[in-house]
Structure 1
Amino acid sequence: MNHDNRHSVSVAGVVIDSDGRALLIQRRDNGHWEAPGGILERDEDITTGLRREVREETGLEVEAEALTGVYKHMTRGIIALVFRCRAISGTLTENDESRAFRWVTADEVTSVASEAFAIRVLDAMRDRDRPAIRQHDGVHLIGSAPI
């Protein structure tokens, strides 16, 4: 198998509060605002990886409520599974991966996050009967209507 053709799988949790706002983290490595998440470890199941990534980046324990989207970063070969989540315990805590937190409304998401990452949050905030399936180049959606 050609290793250049492999994909990696990541997970992200869009944590929604009781006011319907979504939690974004500001990443330390690039300053971008995104939902917490990261690459799954090879030996962990999807739910365990999701909970681990959100806990590592926020300090929150979460429960996944629904798979809200599947996204492919076409240039890097990353498949992202995004879930709507609710916090069940913990306290927001800055760490090596996140330097700030922000609760945003659907109207605010596009002003702080790039199109490719804002759509993940918006898809999770919408009441849909099935997950969205989208592709992007790391900044913009490809082959989809703009958000």
Structure 2
Amino acid sequence: MGHIHERIDFAVAVFVVEHGRVLLCLHRQLGKWLPLGGHVELDEDPEQAAIREVREESGLEIELWGERPPTTGPGTRALIAPRFMDIHRIHETHQHVGLIYWARPRGGRLTLASGEHQELRWCTPEELETLQPPLDPPIRWYARKALEEVEGISPGPVAGTSASTAS
């Protein structure tokens, strides 16, 4: 789906983690490694968008990682909060509010959405440092943080940083 608003949209980014690896896609149009994700559509909440985008882009069914508060009641449905949020410029006059989730696969079969991506790859922490084209630093940080929090994998120092500034 295209942009809902001309100046700003909400988008989800999902770092799917399994067996000490994180799933990334090489985006066909942008030519860079990214998590799965996309726009939150008008008829869905962010959780639904995250689940839909991962299914459309990878064939996987996922479970979002996090806690759902016990506050659901008539007229209210509690949502799993994104682990992080950011705002990033898409072009000079348009921005995205990024809702950044961690997830685990729960089914489906990994399938490339060739219209959107050139490649899907499960990456170890070491491979995050050697991907070509290189990962943008924020994507590398989020990927390492997802591995650390979901799998308990200590990321160690990031290339080009000292151990005291790696976390």
Please name the residue that 2:155 is paired with: none
Whether the 8 Å CA contact 1:69–1:124 is kept in 2: the answer is no
Tell me by how many angstroms 1:84 deviates. Answer: 0.9
The alignment partner of 2:65 has SS state of strand
Is there any run of 5+ residues in structure 1 with no aligned partner, and where?
A: 129-144
Please name the residue that 1:103 is paired with: 122
Is there any run of 5+ residues in structure 2 with no aligned partner, and where?
A: 67-81, 151-164
Whether the 8 Å CA contact 1:62–1:87 is kept in 2: the answer is yes
Pick aligned residue for 1:122 from 138, 141, 144: 144
1:40-55 matches, cutoff 5 A: 40-55=40-55
Between structure 1 and structure 2, the one with the greater Rg is: 2
Tell me by how many angstroms 1:13 deviates. Answer: 1.2
Please name the residue that 1:71 is paired with: 86
The amino acid that maps onto 1:11 is V
Please name the residue that 2:21 is paired with: 21
Q: Which has the higher strand share?
A: 1
Structure 2 CA distance for aligned equivalents of residues 20 and 77 of structure 1 = 32
Structure 2 CA distance for aligned equivalents of residues 146 and 71 of structure 1 = 20
The amino acid that maps onto 1:12 is A
The alignment partner of 1:16 has SS state of strand
The TM-score with structure 2 as length reference comes to: 0.67
Pick which of 78-87 and 92-101 moved more: 92-101
Say how many residue pairs are matched.
127
Structure 2 CA distance for aligned equivalents of residues 110 and 40 of structure 1 = 30
The amino acid that maps onto 1:9 is F
Structure 2 CA distance for aligned equivalents of residues 123 and 82 of structure 1 = 11
Tell me by how many angstroms 1:11 deviates. Answer: 0.5
Whether the 8 Å CA contact 1:12–1:54 is kept in 2: the answer is no
Tell me by how many angstroms 1:110 deviates. Answer: 4.0
The amino acid that maps onto 2:137 is E
Tell me by how many angstroms 1:120 deviates. Answer: 2.4
Structure 2 CA distance for aligned equivalents of residues 39 and 27 of structure 1 = 15
The TM-score with structure 1 as length reference comes to: 0.75
Tell me by how many angstroms 1:53 deviates. Answer: 0.5
Structure 1 CA distance for aligned equivalents of residues 62 and 83 of structure 2 = 15
Q: Which runs of 4+ in 1 moved over 6 A?
A: none
Tell me by how many angstroms 1:43 deviates. Answer: 1.8
Pick which of 52-61 and 68-77 moved more: 68-77
